[in-house]
Amino acid sequence: MRIAMIGSGAAGSVFASYLRRGGADMVLVDRYKEHMDKVARDGMDFTIDPDQHYHLDGFETACSPDGIGVVDAVIFLTKATQLEEAVKSVSPCVGPDTVLISLINGLGNEDILLRYYPAERCMIGSGSIGTVLDGPGKCTSYPNFGVIMNFGPLKENERVREVGLQLQEHFQTGGADARYREDILPLLWWKIIKNSSHSPVCAVLRLSVGDVDKDPYGRELYDRIIREGVAVAKAKGVNIMDAEDFIKHDIEQCSENPKYINSMTQDMCWKKLPTEIDMLAGALSEQGKLYGVPTPTCDVFTLIVKAIQGNYDKQIF
């Protein structure tokens, strides 16, 4: 199966590497020309933390979808804020049977896909994994235990099921426990709530996931957002676990990879980039308004993150 990975930074490179190890025919697409040129010329050095190291050849690369030809599947792993532009850009590689898949964490990605393509050709999903681009042609995966990727159809049919099961096989053969799920929404909401909790809290406090978890006040901030997110999901009719069970599970996961620094923290503390807050805690706030669920912690963290990212050049340190 020929797959175009649109957005081949840290997450895109890691998931493309799992797929390539599993036998998929991968085309990496990213504006980072030095990275694309390095992978095309020398292949990808892929590390699965802590001690699995692989060199992978056979990638095609490009800086835009123009000219790569029609593919079987298009996977989007751009920033959430870049998704709509990316979806509009891929028409040259989309044929009548191409399936389009957003694996970007956050709410609202399915709505963007549906503006341009029918539900019968779309899938959504999310991963539970740390990813780092160590430099041109080098990426590292920091997987949690168990399933690290779940994805499924917006509308089940024979074609998306065929592609979904092939993706599952490529991922699993490549070393990633990824699952095709017909009922994807509960798992997607679980990931969104988790990221809405960890990402802004870590970024504002300038701490790793584990250091926030170990601090009682940090842990309380995590928990308040989780409770708000679960309440919104239940009001929307999503079949998700109760908040206290969610929190118990989250505490266990924080201990598995305590030093992980999430992408929002990297964007705010080092890169000084716009964040995905509107797709995470900000989206939970908006959904809370729609369903009459108070989300005070999400509301405040959304405002704080937006104020910080709007004033990077004025910060005292």
Report the DSSP pairing between strands 138-143 and 25-29.
unpaired
Residue where a domain stops, chosen among 162, 182, 202: 182
- Expressed as residue numbers, the domain containing 137 is 2-182
pLDDT tens column, 34-78: 999 999 999 999 999 889 999 999 999 999 999 999 999 999 999
Together in a domain, 145 and 223: no
Residue where a domain stops, chosen among 129, 161, 182: 182
The CATH number of residue 280's host domain is 1.10.1040.10
Q: Is the pLDDT of residue 24 over 90?
A: yes
Together in a domain, 218 and 136: no
Q: Is the pLDDT of residue 138 over 90?
A: yes
Together in a domain, 155 and 215: no
Alpha helices (H) in the chain, listed in sequence order? 10-21, 33-42, 83-89, 109-116, 158-173, 185-205, 209-214, 216-236, 243-256, 263-266, 281-291, 296-309
Together in a domain, 97 and 143: yes
Q: Is the pLDDT of residue 317 over 90?
A: no
**Is residue 108 within 8 Å of 37, Cβ to Cβ?**
no
Q: Band of the pLDDT at 177, cuts 50, 70, 90?
A: very high
Q: How many domains does the chain have?
A: 2
Q: Band of the pLDDT at 146, cuts 50, 70, 90?
A: confident
Q: Is the pLDDT of residue 119 over 90?
A: yes
Together in a domain, 301 and 269: yes
- Distance between first and last Cα of the chain: 49
Together in a domain, 13 and 112: yes
The CATH number of residue 71's host domain is 3.40.50.720
Question: Would you list the DSSP string of 135-199?
Answer: ETTEEEEEEPSS--EEEEESS--HHHHHHHHHHHHHHHHTT--EEE-S--HHHHHHHHHHHHHHH
Together in a domain, 190 and 178: no
Q: Which two tokens stand for residue 146?
A: 């168990």
Together in a domain, 176 and 205: no
Residue where a domain stops, chosen among 148, 182, 216: 182
Report the length, in residues, of the chain.
Answer: 317
pLDDT tens column, 183-207: 898 888 988 999 999 999 999 999 9
pLDDT tens column, 274-302: 998 998 999 999 999 999 999 999 999 99
Together in a domain, 151 and 284: no
Together in a domain, 58 and 117: yes
